[in-house]
Amino acid sequence: MPTPASPGGSEPEATAGGALARCVGDPDRFAREHWGRAPLHRPAADAAGFADLFSLGDVDRILSSTTPRWPAFRLVKDGRQLDPRTYTRPGRVGGQPVDDLADPGLVYEHFHAGATIVLQSLHRFWPPLARLARDLELALTHPVQVNAYVTPPAARGLGVHHDTHDVFVLQVHGRKRWDVHEAGAGPGRRLLETELAPGDCLYIPRRFPHAAWTAATASVHLTVGVVPVTWADVARRAVTAVVEDALSGEPLPVGFAADPAALTAGVAAQLGELRRRLDKLDPGVLAAGAADRFWSSRPPILDGQLQQLLGLEAIGQATVVRRRPGATCRLRRRGDRLEVLLGDRALHMPARLAPAMREVLDRDRLAVADLAGHLDPQSRLVLVRRLVREGLLETVAPA
C-alpha cells in the first residue's frame, strides 16, 4: 500500500508503512486482498513481536497505581457489561468528589471470577501505543484507536458480535481462540477458527461477526480499531451541504397531505433543483475536503515537549533538529502567503518561506545553519524555534 507523501516533504521513516507491515506482513497484498474484504491471521515471526507495546505488568501498573476512572476501563463477563458500581469507589480528584475511581481489589476479584478487564483508548496516554496508532493512521489515512482486553483462563468476554470498524487484534500475552464468520444479518458460515499466540495478529473487517474466549491460559490482547472513512461519508457530507443550500426551507403548503398531485409536482421540482446542483459538484474539491479533514485532525504527539520548550532560547545556528515522529505537515500556497497545516492547526507565513519549509520537510534532520541558502541567521532561528514550539520539530541531543 503506498504511503501518502506530504507536498513539499515526505513522512518520517517510521511512518512509511512500518507499523502496518508489522501487523500484516505485506502491506500491498493486505490492501488488495483483505482491507475491508476478508479476515487475515498472520502468525508471529517472533513471540515477543508486540512485547514492546504493552504487557501484563503494564495492566497491573495502570490498575493499581494510576487509579483510572470509568469508562476509561470497564469489565465484561459472559457477553455482558458488569455494573461499574461493583468495581469502582468514590474519592476526590483535585478537591472535587467523584464516584467512578477504579477499586483495584474489586477489579481483581471480578477478574478472578472470570471477568475480562477492558482498558479503553490507550492510544491517548500510553506512549508506545500512541506511536503505533499514529504510524498506522499515516499508512492507512483512517483514524485509529487502541483498547486492551485482559481475559482470565477459561473465560469469555463479549459474545458473538460485529464491530462498526475494522480491527487488528495483536496478541501480547497468553493465548486466545477466535471464530470469525462471514458478514451478514447474523453469524454466517465460519471463515476462520484459530488460536492466537503471542506475537500473532488477526485482522477482522467491520461487520464480520466474531467471538473470542480463553482456554488454559489468561490472555492480553490489543484491539486496534480502524474507524474507516467511507464513500458514503464523503457523499453524505456533499449531499447534505447541497440540500441545505438548494432546497427551500419554507414549509409545505397548507393542506399538502390532501392534494397528492400538487405535492408530487412540488417534490419533483425540488428534486430537479437538487440534481442540477449535484451535477455541478467538483469531485476534486470533494476529494480534497476529505483529505483535509483527515490531515487537520492529527495533532502532534508531544512527548518531551516541556523540555523542548524550556530549551527554546538555547537553540543556535549549530543546533540539530528533526521532524517529530508522527508529526504531519502540509504546505499550501495562498497568493503571497504560505499556509502550513500542522495536524490540528494552521500557521500562516510569507510565501518566501516556502523553500525553507520544503527543506525542513525533505531532510531527516538538519542544523539551523543548513537553512542559510534561504534565510538570514535571525530568520532561521525564528522559524526553527517556532516549529519546535508548534511540535513539528524537536532538537536532537549531541552525540
Mean pLDDT of the chain: 90
In tens, the pLDDT along 288-313 reads 999 988 998 999 999 999 999 999 99
Residue 290 has a pLDDT of 92
Query: Which amino acid is present at 323?
Result: R
Alpha carbon distance 217, 367 (integer Å): 52
Residue 13 has a pLDDT of 35
Residue 311 has a pLDDT of 95
Q: What is the DSSP string of 214-238?
A: -SSS-EEEEEEEE----HHHHHHHH
Give the SS3 label for residue 339. Answer: strand
Task: Give all strands of the β-sheet with 176-181 in edge-to-edge order.
Answer: 190-196, 176-181, 210-213
In tens, the pLDDT along 229-278 reads 999 999 999 999 888 887 767 889 899 999 999 999 999 998 998 999 99
Q: Which three cell numbers stand for residue 67?
A: 487509579
In tens, the pLDDT along 160-184 reads 888 889 999 999 999 999 999 988 7
Residue 16 has a pLDDT of 46
The secondary structure of 249-279, three-state, reads: CCCCCCCHHHCHHHHHHHHHHHHHHHHHHHH
Which residues in the chain land under pLDDT 50?
1-16
Residue 213, exposed/middle/buried by CB under 10 A (0-12, 13-18, 19+)? middle
CA-nearest of 55, 109, 43 to 82 is 109
Helix segments in the chain, DSSP class H = 18-24, 27-33, 56-65, 104-112, 127-140, 231-246, 260-279, 283-295, 305-310, 354-362, 377-389
Residue 106 has a pLDDT of 96
Beta bridge mates, 9: 6
Instruction: Show the domains of the chain with their CATH numbers.
Output: 13-226 (2.60.120.650), 231-291 (no CATH), 305-395 (3.90.930.40)
Residue 234 has a pLDDT of 93
Residue 231 has a pLDDT of 93
Q: Which residues have CB under 8 Å from 218's CB, separation 6+?
A: 56, 150, 151, 152, 153, 173, 174
Output the pTM of the full model: 0.86
Query: Are the CB atoms for 140 and 27 separated by under 8 Å?
Result: no
Residue 17 has a pLDDT of 67
DSSP letter (8 states) at residue 123: G
Query: Are the CB atoms for 326 and 12 separated by under 8 Å?
Result: yes
